[in-house]
Each structure stands twice: as C-alpha cells, then as structure tokens.
A and B are shown apart, each in its own frame.
Chain A
Amino acid sequence: NAGVTQTPKFQVLKTGQSMTLQCAQDMNHNSMYWYRQDPGMGLRLIYYSASEGTTDKGEVPNGYNVSRLNKREFSLRLESAAPSQTSVYFCASSASDRGAGNTIYFGEGSWLTVV
C-alpha cells in the first residue's frame, strides 16, 4: 500500500542547477500539493493542483514550477536552484480540495541541499 511516493529522498545540488522532484499517488485522489518544511516555519504551500489539468500558486511559489502530468503524478521543478531552496519538500494528496475531514496524505519527504 504505497500511498504517496516521492523521489528522490536526498539530493545535493549546486547553485544554478535544475532538478525535478517526482511525486505519485495511488489513491485515485483528485488534489495534490507540494509543501516545503523549514525549521521554525512549519509547512508552507508551494503549489497545489485541485484536480487534473489545474495548478495554482500557494504561499511560496517563486523559483518553482509544477506539472500535473496526469491524475497520479505531480512534479515540482527547480529551474535554477538557490541556497534559499535548501529544505525538506513534501508532496501530499487528498480526495478533493475541500470538505470536512478530507485527510491530506503526505509522502515521506525529499531532503534537498543547495550548495
């Protein structure tokens, strides 16, 4: 029972390099999210996709792009990595983007260091 799977788990990038974080869910969920977690700042929403074919900016979208490839997959791209993007990234999904107790399921996280 995989749930939300994200890759890679760990990555070190040089400033200016690009990379894509991959995420897939096998729960037939409509909505998917990318968060970043930084010490003392909780989780902040980068981008979300309420349903297949739509994406919207969250709280901290600058420096990132996303693609909702299909219903299962939602990728996050860093075009030109900066040290400020060193963080733990979490992909998440939920059955829809609204409703009581509509549980958000999280992946295990991707640790990204930009040097």
Chain B
Amino acid sequence: GEDVEQSLFLSVREGDSSVINCTYTDSSSTYLYWYKQEPGAGLQLLTYIFSNMDMKQDQRLTVLLNKKDKHLSLRIADTQTGDSAIYFCADHRSGGYQKVTFGTGTKLQVIP
C-alpha cells in the first residue's frame, strides 16, 4: 500500500530554522501537502506543492520536493513558539480527495 512517513518529534530553539522531513512511496502523487495541528484543534492547510515543482516558498515556509527520492521537506525560518504544533505531510494521488494519505505527524517543540 501507499505510505507516508515522518519522524515523530523535532525540537528546535526559538529563532533557529526547523526542517521537517517526509517520505512517500506512491510515484503517482500529484500534490503534496503540509498541514499544521495545534493542540485540541483540527488540521489546517499550511501549503501544498505540485509534483512537477521542486520548491515553493511562502513567507517563512519553504517546501522542497525531491521527486526522484520521493522526499518532501518543510523548512520554517526563524521558528517561533507559536509554531509549536504537529505537522502532517499528506500526498494526493490522482482520483480525488478520498486518495489523500496522511503521514503520522511530526511534533515540533520550540524552546524559548
């Protein structure tokens, strides 16, 4: 089956950059997403990237996609305590949203 894998935990100091990594197995992925989940809340879409792109930048967020290695990363520049949350990688295969597969989530802890 299709898998999306992430490390479970990342700790960084406030002001440093955070890099959250994700690997996926399905080569037919068309879009890849990053979602953020704050405590006690649902998931919010942060950003997404088309599978034919290598990089997407949106303010403090940079998404890098290595399609050959099926590796996706999310870099958060100047990480703030408000960035503490769980970050989910998700891939969307063609055929509709019922084929979105979520990773296990990476818990980002920002140390003041």
Contact = CB atoms under 8 A, between A and B. Distances in A.
Contacts of B100: 45, 104
A43 B31 contact: no
Interface string B1-44: 00010001000000000000000000000110000000011111
A102 B48 CA distance: 10
A67 to B, nearest CB: 18
A43 to B, nearest CB: 4
A40 interface: yes
A33 B101 CA distance: 13
Given A40-B104, A43-B88, A108-B42, A56 B98 contact: yes
Tier of interface size on chain B: 20 to 34
A102 B102 contact: no
Please indicate which of the listed interface residues A43, A45, A101, A108 has the most CB atoms of chain B within 10 Å of its own CB: A43
B16 to A, nearest CB: 26
B82 interface: no
Given A40-B104, A101-B31, A104-B45, 5 more contacts: A42-B4, A42-B104, A44-B102, A94-B97, A100-B50
